[in-house]
Amino acid sequence: MRPILMKGHERPLTFLKYNREGDLLFSCAKDHNPTVWFADNGERLGVYKGHNGAVWSCDVSRDSMRLITGSADQTAKLWNVQTGAQLYTFNFDSPARSVQFSVGDKLAIVTTDPFMGHPPTIQVKQIARDPSEQTGESVLTIKGPGRITGAIWGPLNKTIISGGEDGILRTWDTETGSLLKESDKETGHQKRITSISKSADGSHFLTSSLDKSAKLWDTRTLTLLKTYVTSAPVNACAISPLLDHVVIGGGQDAVNVTMTDHRAGKFEAKFFHKILQEEIGGVKGHFGPINALAFNPDGRSFASGGEDGYVRLHHFDPDYFNIKI
């Protein structure tokens, strides 16, 4: 399995996202320029210019027409995927951290960081079909207890699930903004949740954490289903849409990168069996911690983005599909 090395970012990667068909891969990095690539050969298609801060996350609409990005420059922007034109800018009082379109693309979540006395929030924005009618006000604003590191839509957009600095998952009602559930403190993550990744059907989701584990949860009940333990902090995770596999990656917290030499870092994407919780293999290659992972929606390839500024695109060999445990 020879990876395709995609060099287009000058700073560490923060997020990767495939579109629904799996022919485009969107990458976000700390260099202000979200980029789109052909997902089969890694050719760079274009760059979305306009942010002037690190871009933390992105999402693409179901029809691959709209891109939303959240950035440390205190904005979230809507883009035309095809032309790279900025359609709208949502302004906030603090950095925008995580963004996600709802099912149907009529709404989007944007989470913001605590900053200069402003509390962390989860905000729901209405997304107009016609960009000229787009407005900036929030349909719902939830003030979070402590920094929110990521948020996803629950089933039928009825709930929002957020993960935080404290390692606790919370389910919020999207109508009222009230807190419905919290994950169990004992069995849940003990340190900051670094990423949240949904399964293809949305029935369960995977979280990664600095407590050196990733955990699989039931979306409706927040019941802990599985735990995948590794030897280093986990920065990113993804669920295979095809096989019962999950992939997790990390190495070190970005803050501590200079503390060790390159051989000491465990910079490989590790594959685990989703049900049996056993490690089935790993893919090495990054010269720094892995900050982003994504599976192609067809399950036949995956991409990883590292602190080293590279996106590595891996098309699986045939024998990957026959791994027996």
Domain boundaries, the chain: 3-322
Question: What is the average pLDDT across 272-283?
Answer: 93
Percent of the chain with pLDDT over 90: 81
Query: Which pLDDT band holds residue 265 (cuts at 50, 70, 90)?
Result: very low
Burial 56-67 (b: 16+ CB within 10 A, else e): bbbbbbeebebb
Per-residue three-class SS string for 192-213: CEEEEEECCCCCEEEEEECCCE
- For the chain, state the CA radius of gyration: 18
Residue 253: per-residue pLDDT: 56
Question: Would the pLDDT of 264 be above 50?
Answer: no
Type of residue at 291 = N
Residue 46: per-residue pLDDT: 95
Question: What is the average pLDDT across 28-48?
Answer: 95
Question: Would the pLDDT of 278 be above 70?
Answer: yes
pLDDT tens readout for residues 166-192: 999 999 999 999 999 999 888 999 999
Percent of the chain with pLDDT over 70: 95
**Average of per-residue pLDDT values in the chain:** 91
Closest CA to 100 of 56, 151, 134: 151
Question: Would the pLDDT of 325 be above 90?
Answer: no
> How far is the C-alpha of 182 from the C-alpha of 10, rounded, in Å?
39
Question: Would the pLDDT of 101 be above 60?
Answer: yes
Whole-model pTM: value is 0.92
Question: Would the pLDDT of 318 be above 70?
Answer: yes
Question: What is the average pLDDT across 128-149?
Answer: 90
pLDDT tens readout for residues 60-98: 999 999 999 999 999 999 999 999 999 999 999 999 999
Question: What is the average pLDDT across 105-122?
Answer: 92
Question: Would the pLDDT of 257 be above 80?
Answer: no
The sheet carrying 234-239 orders its strands as 234-239, 245-250, 268-273, 279-284
Closest CA to 266 of 278, 280, 283: 283
> How far is the C-alpha of 95 from the C-alpha of 107, rounded, in Å?
20
Question: What is the average pLDDT across 113-123?
Answer: 91
Domain over 3-322 is classified CATH 3.40.50.2020: no
Do residues 48 and 90 lie in contact, with contact meaning Cβ atoms separated by under 8 Å?
Answer: no
Residue 210: per-residue pLDDT: 93
Residue 171: per-residue pLDDT: 95
